[in-house]
Each structure stands twice: as structure tokens, then as C-alpha cells.
Amino acid sequence: MKLLEERIRQEGIVKSGSVLKVDSFINHQMDVLFFDKMGAEFKRLYADAPINKILTIEASGIGIAIIAGLHFGVPVVFAKKSRSSNISDDVYHTVIHSYTHNNDNNVIVSREYLSPEDHLLIIDDFLANGCAMEGLIDLAHQAGATVEGLGIAVEKGFQKGGDKLRQEGYRVESLAIIESMDAATGEIVFREQD
Amino acid sequence: MKLLEERIRQEGIVKSGSVLKVDSFINHQMDVLFFDKMGAEFKRLYADAPINKILTIEASGIGIAIIAGLHFGVPVVFAKKSRSSNISDDVYHTVIHSYTHNNDNNVIVSREYLSPEDHLLIIDDFLANGCAMEGLIDLAHQAGATVEGLGIAVEKGFQKGGDKLRQEGYRVESLAIIESMDAATGEIVFREQD
């Protein structure tokens, strides 16, 4: 999505440690009208898929997932990070490692809201190592749901989570894929997409 | 908003300890098309206010705030719960007590995204004791922003946070106000609104 690449070039800030800050329009201040364009693009990309629910994870995935939900006309379920290690029986549960915070999170979804009837689009703002996506896919599989595909705003292509998921057979649609970026010069190279 | 009252009657589950579960359509599974109606209602209620930004707090406020953002055509900023007690100088910072989890949270917004030019609508899914709202108002005031009003999906009227804010002079628009509820019978009484 050329519009997203342009916006990242304009407003994204490359920091050391493979950090890309897009706080000004994606994951702190959220440009809702721009999200609307991203939601329309996800719908275009997945027009052929029988998606009846969107799954995301708190917190910064929720905004894009909600707008995509409007475009698909389906409900959105967000997986919750549990503060408690005491996990009840009425939830699906997985553990997701965060490289950003260097910790493990218990992540849960109530059994009521994922089922074998569900055909899921899993949405998040970023895909890097793929830990969050693997966790959400695990929750979907526990529920017997079908994963129709993944929808990502910004994929860090150089961190290989996306390519690993594609090799495993998942459909991954990322609106922008960063092939490389340089904190010293601020240069960002995007992967060519159709 | 009669539609919301009806939906709460149908799907809300009253639990002991003044807990109302609306997980099935508001704060775990999110009925996006219903959110669209709530967003339109906030726009109708605040049609006269010069709102140029929406402020909310992660995680369950984000969904409703985003849809409202579409109706107002303005960006949404979400305040973040900081895991670190090490607060940097480039953020506004407040402490919000959670009665649900019985703890205090450091809550931050980057100084870049709130300013004296901002006329804010502050949105959240629930209003009970008002701690979250007081915290968000504090952040707004630190930035010199104007609080045009508050937009709440479900207010627990019997917990007085909303009435206290109204007495302090804030405009509070809640789409449904629960006057009382009974965990034994499941009965919910709503406050009459125009």
C-alpha cells in the first residue's frame, strides 16, 4: 500500500535496535481516517475469503482491527493480556513472549468468543518476530477455528516472522514490508509488492 | 440510547460486587456495527462542540473511541499504562487507581499528542468511580487542552463518579446509566434520560 509507505517515510522515525516509531499516526495517536483506508485495503485483499470474525490483541492492534471490522461487517475479538497467572478454565490461553519488554505474557480469549464456526482474519499493527501472531494462531487452533489469513499494517521483513508464517502456509498480507532500515541515516527500504 | 439499554438487558450479566459483564458485545468481543451506532450517537450529542481530538485509555476504550473518531473525523489518542515506574520527561503522566484490580497504574500520553490547541472528547466504555476519567482530565489539563466533554457507553450511576464529574462542571454524556442492578435477580434499572 503505497500510501502507507509514503506516510512511514514522512513520519516514521528509525531508532537503534530495529525500532520504528510510528506513534504519530498508528500506535499512540491514531489517524482514524487513514485507518479507514487501511481497513478498505484489507477488505480488498481478502475479498474472496469467508471471514466472519476478526481476532486481534490489546492494545495497539485494536484500532486497525475495529476499522477493518466495519469494512468486513464482522465482530472483533481482542485477546487480553492477563495480569494473573491464575488462568480460569473458561478461556483459551497461550503465552506470548515480548522482545520489546523482554517478558512473557499470559494471553487469553474467552471460550465463548472463538469456535469451530469461526473463519478468522487475525490483525495487528506490527509483525516482527511473529510471536504475537503465533500466539493468536495457537488460540484459534485451540478453538478449532479456521485462520483465513493475517492482516498486518507494518511488517519488519528483516525480522523474518512474516516469512516463517508464509512458509508454514499462512496467508500473510502486510500493507507495508520493511526490507531494511538504518538508524544512522533514517533510510527505509520497502519490499516490492504487487 | 434505548438500543444500548435493550442490548444490556439482553446480554449483560449482573454479578456480585457491582460487576456488569458486557463481554459479548462491548469489551472482549466487540460488535463493531453496534459501535457504529454508538459513535453516531456521540456525534449527535456533541454536534455543537468544536471537538478536534478524542482521548481514551487502553484497552477497552479504544474500540468505541475509534468509531467515534470516524464520525467526528478526528484523530484518537490513547493513554498508555506504563509498565515502568521510570517516567520520561517527554510524556504527561498521572496515576489511576483501579478498583477492579486493586492497584495503581502509571498512565502516560506523549507530550507531542496533546496541546493547548486541542478540544477533547474523552471516551471510555465504562464510568464507575470515575478514577480513569479524573486521570484523563488531569492529562488534558497538564497539556493545557480544553475538555469539551466526556462520552461513556455504560455509566454505573450508583457509583457516583459521573455525578461527581457533572457537579465539577464537566459535560458527561453516557449512552446508558444504570441506576441499580441486582445480582440475585439479574434486574437492571436504568436512569431516565432525554
pLDDT band, residue A175 (cuts 50/70/90): very high
The SS3 of residue B2 is helix
The one-letter amino acid at A108: I
Cβ <8 Å between B78 and A30:
yes
Closest-approach residue (CA) in chain B for A84: B101
pLDDT band, residue A87 (cuts 50/70/90): confident
Average pLDDT over all residues of chain A: 96
Nearest to A63 among B24, B62, B112 (CB): B62
Instruction: Name all domains of chain A by residue range, CATH numbers in brackets.
Output: 2-190 (3.40.50.2020)
pLDDT band, residue A83 (cuts 50/70/90): confident
Decide if B56 contacts B65 (C-beta within 8 A): yes
Q: Is the pLDDT of residue A181 over 80?
A: yes
% of residues, chain A, pLDDT over 70: 100
Going through chain A in order, the beta strands assigned E by DSSP cover: 13-15, 19-21, 29-30, 53-57, 76-82, 91-98, 103-110, 119-127, 146-156, 172-181, 188-190
Cβ <8 Å between A80 and B28:
yes
At A5-53, the pLDDT tens digits run 999 999 999 999 899 999 999 999 999 999 999 999 999 999 999 999 9
Average pLDDT over all residues of chain B: 96
Give the pLDDT mean for A134-152: 98
**Residue B76 touches chain A, beta carbons under 8 Å:** yes
**Residue A33 touches chain B, beta carbons under 8 Å:** yes
**Residue A163 touches chain B, beta carbons under 8 Å:** no
Closest-approach residue (CA) in chain B for A110: B28
pLDDT at A88: 86
Task: Count CA atoms closer than 13 A to A38's CA, side-chain side.
Answer: 29
At B88-133, the pLDDT tens digits run 889 999 999 988 788 999 999 999 999 999 999 999 999 999 999 9
Cβ <8 Å between A70 and B33:
yes
Instruction: With a cut of 50, list the residues of chain B below it in pLDDT.
Output: none
Which grid cell is B134?
A: 479524573
Nearest Cα of chain A lies from the Cα of B74 at a distance, in angstroms, of: 7
